[in-house]
């Protein structure tokens, strides 16, 4: 099949997640050591529990067996995105405004490729963070096309 595994899995998940009133956060198909892993991260407003992960895993496994889009052996993992949830879609970023985030960029901005601070604003062109540098606070704007990865970040006070 020419389509990427993640695209096929996303399509297979649509009805399953809709029936369970769950949201797809992310899909990864990665090789770690000699094993392949298909990881599906799901969520809902109140958070997901292990039972919901099990239901999605079982239903997705049945559909994957029918369609058989993956040649190699792999492990299927369905879980919550956790406290450090990735930010990928516009609604993820908008929902994270005012929260502590970690952003990695493709290329250095003001000499750095990693930033951690409070997300102040987001639009399709850029996001603005308030970051602490020793004793002072600084605002930095990052063009969205330069964002490699972004996620919520846990802070310990």
Question: What does 13-40 look like in DSSP terms, one character per residue?
Answer: HHHHHHHHT-EEEEEEEEEETTEEEEEE
Both tokens of residue 46?
Answer: 């109140």
Q: Give pLDDT, residue 84.
A: 86
Find the angle CA(50)-CA(51)-CA(52) to the nearest 5 degrees. Answer: 90
Q: Map tokens 């369970």 to a residue.
A: 20
150 pLDDT band, cuts 50/70/90, is very high
CATH topology of domain 5-79: GMP Synthetase; Chain A, domain 3 (3.30.300)
Model confidence at 157: pLDDT above 90: no
Q: Which of 39, 74, 35, 73 is nearest to 56 (CA)?
A: 39
Q: Which of 75, 93, 77 is nearest to 85 (CA)?
A: 93
Annotated domain spans of the chain: 5-79, 90-152
Kindly report the CATH number that applies to the domain delimited by 90-152.
2.30.30.180
Model confidence at 2: pLDDT above 70: no
Using an 8 Å Cβ cutoff, are 114 and 104 in contact? yes
1 pLDDT band, cuts 50/70/90, is very low
Both tokens of residue 147?
Answer: 């964002």
Q: Give pLDDT, residue 3.
A: 56
Model confidence at 154: pLDDT above 60: yes
Q: What is the pLDDT of residues 35-84, one digit of tens each?
A: 999 999 999 888 899 999 999 999 999 999 999 889 899 999 999 988 88
CB atoms within 10 A of CB 151: 19
| 148 burial via Cβ count (<10 Å: 0-12, 13-18, 19+) | exposed
Q: Which of 133, 135, 144, 139 is nearest to 118 (CA)?
A: 139
Find the angle CA(84)-CA(145)-CA(156) to the nearest 5 degrees. Answer: 25
Q: What is the pLDDT of residues 95-128, one digit of tens each?
A: 999 999 999 999 999 999 999 999 999 999 999 9
């Amino acid at each position: 099949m020419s389509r990427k595994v993640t695209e096929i899995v996303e399509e297979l998940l649509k009805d399953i997640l809709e029936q369970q009133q769950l949201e797809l956060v992310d899909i990864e198909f990665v090789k770690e050591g000699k094993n392949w892993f298909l990881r599906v991260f799901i969520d809902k407003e109140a958070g997901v529990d292990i039972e919901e992960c099990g239901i999605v895993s079982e239903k997705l496994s049945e559909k994957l067996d029918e369609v058989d889009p993956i040649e190699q052996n792999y492990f299927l993992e369905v879980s919550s995105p956790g406290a450090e949830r990735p930010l990928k879609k516009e609604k993820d970023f908008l929902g994270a405004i005012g929260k502590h985030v970690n952003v990695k960029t493709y290329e250095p901005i003001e000499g750095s490729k990693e930033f951690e601070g409070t997300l102040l604003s987001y639009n399709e062109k850029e996001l603005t963070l308030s970051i602490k540098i020793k004793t002072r606070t600084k605002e930095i704007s990052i063009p969205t096309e330069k964002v490699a990865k972004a996620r919520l970040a846990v802070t310990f006070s």
